[in-house]
Structure 1
Amino acid sequence: MKGRGKLTENIVLGQMIGLVFKAAGAEVLDRTNLPGSISAREAIVQGDADAMYEYTGTAWITYLGRAKPVVDPLEQWEAVREQGRRNGVTWLPQSTLNNTYAPAISKRNNAKYELRTLSDVAELTKRNPGAVTVCVENEFASRDDGLPGMAKAYGMSVPAADIQKMDAGIIYTQVSKSNSCLLGEVFTTDGRIKAMNLDVLEDDRRFFPNYNAAPVIHTATFEKYPEIADLLDPVSRKLTTEVAQVLNAKVDVDGEDPHEVAKDWLVEEGFIKEG
């Protein structure tokens, strides 16, 4: 599952890598718009591309076919790093930027319900069953790591009549501005969360996988240029879920160019110089 928010973020993070490499004197060929996660990953494996930011959850679930996520973020990173070694891919340390799934509610509606966690939602479904209506993407509505699995993990029941399926982009608007759904599926780093005054509910039972962003490097390239770690590790340490929300909003809400958004942030943080 990959919505607009994740696509924006992929481009911004890819631009960061290119700008940092260029500032260090490397010749950079920008391939950040390769279609789909698997195509981009294959480019790294085959050496057709040298570096990208990847999500630990994507590697674990999509590439390695693991059904059950690893709850601890560090352990999951270690697991995909070990698998990556066997495929000629080197994982550098991950960021705390975690672009996972979560339900969100408008601040307007939450003034009434005061929901903070998914356990609060489960309690509401028992206390007032008709109150919980949900807007989700088609895929999320049927996957074990989506709505059905979430409902099972929290012991909540949401009747089919209270579930609306729609495009990811429409969900944010529906949750924010209409009464058609109380909760909506969002990506936790999406810039529209703050722009549309949404509260993201905590996954207090840690059902959803961790999708921490980390640089992945074609191993032959990394062995030739190990200084890549010195360039990218400081950047990753600064990347948080909150930072990603701000940067994504500049693109998806304010209409700024991803390259310029990445460049401005790198300059502001002192990773590259203006110009």
Structure 2
Amino acid sequence: MKMMKWLAVLACSVIILAGCSKKETVKIGAQTFSEQLILAHMVGLLVKEKAGLDVKVVSDLSSTSFNHQSMLNNDVQISFRYVGTDYTGTLKIEEQPKDMESALKTLQERFKSDFQQTWFPPLGFENTYGFTVRQELADELKLETVSDLKDAAKDLSLGTDQVWLERPFDGYPAFIEKYGFEFAKTFPMEVGLVYKAVQSKDVDVVIAYTTDARLKEYNLKVLADDKKLFPPYQASVVARDDLLKKHPAVKEVIDSLEGKIDTETMTALNYQVDVKLEEPEQVAKQFLIEKGLLNG
């Protein structure tokens, strides 16, 4: 009988010790496209090595609003956000920000006061909408900026997702007002199809994402938004304040990525995953090693 009691005490002790020795798991949220997965693994690898915490990448956040709610619910503690999206979407501000600095300041102040979250300085790249053409068409018409399309637009077709055609602040109505011209035809389509559509000459101009790997794959050119139709969409890390307070090393990890990833680099990293079919975690790891941020 004494032996049974002793074994029971021993079993309970083992369970308690096991529970005490288990590391805390930090959940890092990512939306369902390569760029976010790469970023999530970057932060995850650094948090694991530098902060000594276990990490889980939650890779099924379908939208910015779902991402935001997951952060509020503490289902994830770290996520990746874009200035313009959260400025007009999450904060529901109905006018365009004057510039990136003022928009960033507003986001940092409001996320701190309203949500108890820290919006970190930008990672260094911007993933925004961009008017995009085949390089050969750009060469033929000498296109460098969106304004350069004005004389030719009456003969050109535009492909874009339906949402952009209806967006009031930086969509097609705002474009017509700001740039002063329209395209001959517009073709609504899934955003993932626009790259192939313009490359195949089904349309002449498309609204694409500026860090998408298919820009490189299909030799497409993004025209400069010279009249600033689109708000700033710089990418940043957002983290819950309770996590940063409990684990200050996590803040140091995130700070180490500030300004380290420019648009060209992010596009190249996306290309490795989307076109060369490499694993996001391996692409992230190689980048961190090359930058001297992670031990090999």
Aligned pairs for 1:83-102 (under 5 A) are: 83-86=110-113, 87-102=115-130
Aligned pairs for 1:1-275 (under 5 A) are: 7-24=33-50, 25-86=52-113, 87-125=115-153, 129-130=154-155, 132-144=156-168, 145-159=170-184, 162-178=185-201, 180-274=202-296
Q: Deviations over 1:51-90 (max 9, x none)?
A: 1221111211111112322131121111111110121111
Q: CA deviation at 1:147?
A: 2.1
107-116 vs 223-232, which moves further: 223-232
* Letter in structure 2 aligned against 1:19: L
* Letter in structure 2 aligned against 1:134: L
* Letter in structure 2 aligned against 1:169: G
Contact 1:84 1:90 in 2 (8 A): yes
Q: CA deviation at 1:18?
A: 0.8
Contact 2:125 2:234 in 1 (8 A): yes
Q: Deviations over 1:176-219 (max 9, x none)?
A: 122x2111110011111111111100001111011111111101
Partner Cα separation in structure 2 for residue 110 and residue 35 of structure 1: 34
Q: CA deviation at 1:6?
A: 7.6
Q: CA RMSD in A?
A: 1.7
Partner Cα separation in structure 2 for residue 157 and residue 73 of structure 1: 27
Q: Tell me the secondary structure at the aligned position of residue 158 of structure 1.
A: coil
Q: Tell me the secondary structure at the aligned position of residue 42 of structure 1.
A: helix
Q: Tell me the secondary structure at the aligned position of residue 110 of structure 1.
A: helix
Contact 2:80 2:238 in 1 (8 A): yes
Q: Which has the higher contact order (CA 8 A, sep 6+)?
A: 1
* Letter in structure 1 aligned against 2:268: V
Partner Cα separation in structure 1 for residue 129 and residue 271 of structure 2: 17
Partner Cα separation in structure 2 for residue 194 and residue 29 of structure 1: 31
Partner Cα separation in structure 1 for residue 293 and residue 117 of structure 2: 25
Bigger share in strand:
2
Gaps of 5+ in 1: none
Partner Cα separation in structure 2 for residue 35 and residue 75 of structure 1: 28
User: Please, what TM-score do these two structures have when normalized by structure 1?
Assistant: 0.90
